[in-house]
Amino acid sequence: MRPLIVSALMVLCGSTALADFEICNETSNEAFASIGYKDGEDWVSEGWWTLQPDECAIAVVGDLKNRYYYVRAESKTGNWTGDYSFCYINDPYTIRGDENCTSRGYKTGGFFEVDTGNSLDWTQNLTD
């Protein structure tokens, strides 16, 4: 009887874990992070998460549905950008679509690609 109870508890405890895309600031300066990803047929960009040194934020909640995500982050001492363009603004935002950014009142900026390898969760560290 005891092994059955232990097995049931293990199943109940193990099933509550969620996977996420987390961005962590491993620098000594405050950083601001944003993310881009595919949602069905649409590209979506979202931001900004304010990250103090050694702090993390969850940018995508739950099991990851895409292999590739795109991150842009900024701080007073450096930026993390890349070759993939998404729309963004300086205020908190969620923008659907990655085309005609300026004509829609947004900025266009580079995001770097993150290959999660189809993992259900991912932690992206921002480092100096």
Quick check: 46 and 39 in contact, CB under 8 A? no
Q: Using one digit for the tens of pLDDT, what is the confidence trace for 4-18? A: 433 443 444 444 457
How far is residue 54's CA from residue 120's CA, in Å, rounded to a whole number?
23
Confidence at residue 1, expressed as pLDDT on a 0 to 100 scale: 45
Question: Residues with Cβ < 8 Å from 61, sequence gap 6 or more?
Answer: 18, 20
Confidence at residue 45, expressed as pLDDT on a 0 to 100 scale: 98
**109 Rama class: left (phi>0) / alpha (psi -120 to 50) / beta:** beta
Q: What percent of the chain has pLDDT over 70?
A: 86
Backbone phi, psi, residue 83, to 5°: -95, 0
Cis peptide before 48 (omega within 30 of 0): yes
Q: Using one digit for the tens of pLDDT, what is the confidence trace for 77-104? A: 889 999 999 999 999 999 999 999 999 9
Confidence at residue 53, expressed as pLDDT on a 0 to 100 scale: 97
Q: Calculate mean pLDDT across residues 52-67.
A: 97
Residue with tokens 């099933």: 15
Confidence at residue 17, expressed as pLDDT on a 0 to 100 scale: 56
Q: Which residues are bridge partners to 115 per DSSP?
A: 68
Neighbours of 94 (CB within 10 A): 8
More confident: 77 or 54: 54
pTM, rounded to two decimals: 0.85
Backbone phi, psi, residue 91, to 5°: -90, 170
How far is residue 43's CA from residue 37's CA, in Å, rounded to a whole number?
6
